[in-house]
Structure 1
Amino acid sequence: MRGADPDPDTARLRHHGDVEAEPGLLDFAVNVQADAPPGWLRERLAAALDGLARYPSAAHDAAARAAVAARHGRHPEEVLVLGGSAEGFALLPGLAPRHAAVVHPGFTEPEAALRAAGIPVTRVLTEESAGHRFDPAAIPADADLVVIGNPTNPTGVLHPARAVAAAARPGRVLVVDEAFADALPGEPESLAGPGHLPGLLVLRSLTKTWALAGLRAGYALGAPELLARLAAPRPPWPVGTLALEAVIACSEPAAVELAARAARTLVTRRAAQAAALAALPGVEVLPGVAPYLLLRLPAGQGSRVREQLRAAGIAVRRGDTFPGLGPDHLRVAVRPAEQVGVLVEALASALARMAA
């Protein structure tokens, strides 16, 4: 289903979970999976501190691209290291699309960046009644840039790779946001591997799995000529030394295996958390597989419940800033069982007060 917003609220599009998660609150609003990077990664970054007096080098960038390329079975020329995947979205207007289409509900930063640059954007809205599944036939035929998340944030839906690939065509750039792909065992339906899909641009983030949100580290995968166009507006030394070192470290086989183990743990935690939340009267946990859950609360109660959770010291992600969702939608990150117990108790209390 297609829908266009003639006067979008840019401030709402640029509302992200970190705004909800103020210090001192139990954080279910941000999808970073740990409180701090693991010890081995901290040591790796600390060892790189002595190099901060020097500018980031081309050799260091080449090493990072080579590590990512080896991880995905690609050539280094098909890798562009980014200051987080959000930088990739900020660079999209430089591709000079005439008409962009963004699949929603989804991460809102791509649309915000495109609209801020004056690029017409059509919202392609997935339907909750259809499980928020993506239909490539809904993309406007004249769209020369398409953005979709896989798995999608905030719905947690994983779209079949064949459906995503069906949106590609000559003359169109297909941007696939795979920020949470490494949180799924085996990275199913990913398009990050080798291939020759025309115009494909895959964005990856290292900030979620490795707790590096404050460092900003990620990368883009695509044809060399497409990456060159994407990178054209960047200033010199766009990615710092520590971020380059993080990209290398997190792309090495041992780190990839650690991420795979963490992904398997997340599956178990997610199932238990979904069951506990779905047992509460009036709470619907929508289908998904990502390391977060999209909830729908009883009609008219979402905003008040969110405020009561905040008063109880718990931050959750509001849903109404995502196009296609409303105030009765909440997104919650997958967390350890003891934290989930606190959330379930507080949510039960809030719902009981609403019912009374």
Structure 2
Amino acid sequence: MNWPSHGADPYKLYQMQGKEPKETITDFSVNTNPYGAPPGLISHLENHLSLIHEYPDLDQQRLRGRIAENQYLLPENVLVGNGASELIHLCARLWQGKRIGIIHPTFSEYQKACEAYDCEIVELYVSEGRTFDLFLPDILPHLQRMDVLMLCHPNNPTGRTYQPDVLYELLKLCEFNGVQVMIDEAFFDFVSGEPFFSPDLFEFPNVLLLRSLTKMYNIPGLRLGYLLAGAALIEKLSRLQPAWSVNALAEEAGFYCLSQEGFARRTAAAVSREKAILFLELKKLGFSPLSTDTNFFLMKDPFHSQANEMVRFLLQEGIAVRHTNNFASLNGTFIRGAVKQRKENEQLLRALGKWRSLCLQ
């Protein structure tokens, strides 16, 4: 059976499953901000449409300056890219032919990018039995076999953040063993409530931090992300990047979004409240969503060992969720859902209630 390799394309999901798309589709496979972009962004871009007649700034100096200011770094510590995916591929190109550790289950683009540049993949795993948390004894024996570790935090698709002391110890051990670490923090700003551990780049010169503006600011069509690292490493990566990789409207949108003080914090709090309500109702229906620290979650079908039939049923109800067939070690046993606004969450609950009734007949 054909399944798309990423979420956020419900029409392709219907097509690949041989189903006619519903007139209205609610897409729970996409995990961008359910409340939309910051107020005023569209009108701001409309006022800057003349930028399409000019070449973008090759170095994105204005946006890099804003990011550096927000992160208490210098512009030479920042590389802006055409979405996090471009930056992942730039890193893989920089580390061409090296041994890359990847902790599964995780975002599939890491392995895809590394294989494109003939890297040797060292596959590591976090387990459902340990709630997908890092267990250092499973990882430490492999550190000497790798040159680089790619780590997603919060992890996609599990939604888990790792214990700060465990992650800190892992980073120190990587530094001791000469292992560079790329930490993908695309969803860090959805973590609400407890402090989020993000390593200090001055303490960990072997660490790169990858961030996305796509998720929190709901601008996936503009493609915008950035890397934070030491100046020498940023310089090496920038030499590999195509000229004018970031278009002028994307840069303008990024500058505007990062100027909206409090937007990310308010969004994270609102998503956390809706998540608590959604999880309570899911449990009443007999489902057991896994604990998550961000705006998406994993959940099994309690009536089948595989979740794919539930995915197909939800499609018939006009709801797209993310299958997990191409996440190593998950193999279709879970769905990944997003936390949306109340109306959409209630639509999901109604559809799952129908599924439960059908399965119990």
- Compute the TM-score of the two structures, normalised by the length of structure 2: 0.88
**Cα shift at 1:178:** 0.6
1:102 aligned residue? 102
1:145 aligns with 2:144: no
Verify the 8 A CA contact 2:324 2:336 in the aligned structure 1.
Answer: yes
User: What is the alpha-carbon distance in structure 1 between the residues aligned to residue 234 and residue 194 of structure 2?
Assistant: 23
Give the stretch that moved more between structures: 19-28 or 78-87.
19-28
Verify the 8 A CA contact 1:207 1:213 in the aligned structure 2.
Answer: yes
Give the stretch that moved more between structures: 137-146 or 323-332.
137-146
1:1-356 matched pairs, under 5 angstroms: 15-20=5-10, 24-34=24-34, 36-58=36-58, 61-96=60-95, 98-137=98-137, 138-139=139-140, 140-141=142-143, 142-165=145-168, 166-167=170-171, 168-169=174-175, 171-185=178-192, 188-191=195-198, 195-252=202-259, 255-281=260-286, 283-298=287-302, 299-356=304-361
User: What is the alpha-carbon distance in structure 1 between the residues aligned to residue 185 and residue 35 of structure 2?
Assistant: 22
Verify the 8 A CA contact 1:159 1:189 in the aligned structure 2.
Answer: no
Verify the 8 A CA contact 1:48 1:241 in the aligned structure 2.
Answer: no
**Cα shift at 1:231:** 2.4
**Cα shift at 1:355:** 3.0
Residues 21-78 of structure 1 show CA distances to partners (whole Å, capped at 9, x for unaligned) of: 667311111001237533311122222211221111247x111111001111111110
Verify the 8 A CA contact 1:107 1:322 in the aligned structure 2.
Answer: yes
2:18 aligned residue? none
- TM-aligned CA distance change 1:187 to 1:200, over 3 Å: farther
Verify the 8 A CA contact 2:93 2:117 in the aligned structure 1.
Answer: no
Residue type at the aligned position of 1:161: P
User: What is the alpha-carbon distance in structure 2 between the residues aligned to residue 184 and residue 237 of structure 1?
Assistant: 32
User: What is the alpha-carbon distance in structure 1 between the residues aligned to residue 202 and residue 242 of structure 2?
Assistant: 30
- TM-aligned CA distance change 1:16 to 1:187, over 3 Å: farther
2:15 aligned residue? none
User: What is the alpha-carbon distance in structure 2 between the residues aligned to residue 340 and residue 18 of structure 1?
Assistant: 17
What is the SS of the residue equivalent to 1:203? strand
Residue type at the aligned position of 1:15: S
Verify the 8 A CA contact 2:153 2:188 in the aligned structure 1.
Answer: yes
**Cα shift at 1:268:** 0.5
User: What is the alpha-carbon distance in structure 2 between the residues aligned to residue 160 and residue 234 of structure 1?
Assistant: 34
Give the stretch that moved more between structures: 158-167 or 241-250.
158-167
Give the stretch that moved more between structures: 228-237 or 69-78.
228-237
**Cα shift at 1:172:** 2.0
User: What is the alpha-carbon distance in structure 2 between the residues aligned to residue 275 and residue 77 of structure 1?
Assistant: 46
Corresponding residue pairs, total: 341
What is the SS of the residue equivalent to 1:191? coil
Runs of 4+ in 1 over 4 A off after TM superposition: none
Residues 207-230 of structure 1 show CA distances to partners (whole Å, capped at 9, x for unaligned) of: 111110000011000011111222
Residue type at the aligned position of 2:124: V
User: What is the alpha-carbon distance in structure 1 between the residues aligned to residue 256 and residue 183 of structure 2?
Assistant: 24
Which residues of structure 2 form unaligned runs of 5+?
13-20
Give the stretch that moved more between structures: 182-191 or 213-222.
182-191
Query: Percent identity between the aligned chains?
Result: 28
- TM-aligned CA distance change 1:217 to 1:107, over 3 Å: same
Give the alignment's Cα RMSD to 1 decimal. 2.1
- TM-aligned CA distance change 1:85 to 1:198, over 3 Å: same
User: What is the alpha-carbon distance in structure 2 between the residues aligned to residue 175 and residue 55 of structure 1?
Assistant: 31
User: What is the alpha-carbon distance in structure 2 between the residues aligned to residue 199 and residue 75 of structure 1?
Assistant: 17
Which residues of structure 1 form unaligned runs of 5+?
1-10
Give the stretch that moved more between structures: 299-308 or 180-189.
180-189
What is the SS of the residue equivalent to 1:232? helix
What is the SS of the residue equivalent to 2:45? helix
- TM-aligned CA distance change 1:232 to 1:33, over 3 Å: same
What is the SS of the residue equivalent to 2:122? strand
Residue type at the aligned position of 1:218: G
User: What is the alpha-carbon distance in structure 2 between the residues aligned to residue 69 and residue 273 of structure 1?
Assistant: 37
- TM-aligned CA distance change 1:161 to 1:248, over 3 Å: farther
**Cα shift at 1:314:** 0.5
Residues 78-134 of structure 1 show CA distances to partners (whole Å, capped at 9, x for unaligned) of: 000111111111112222252101111111101111012221112211011111001
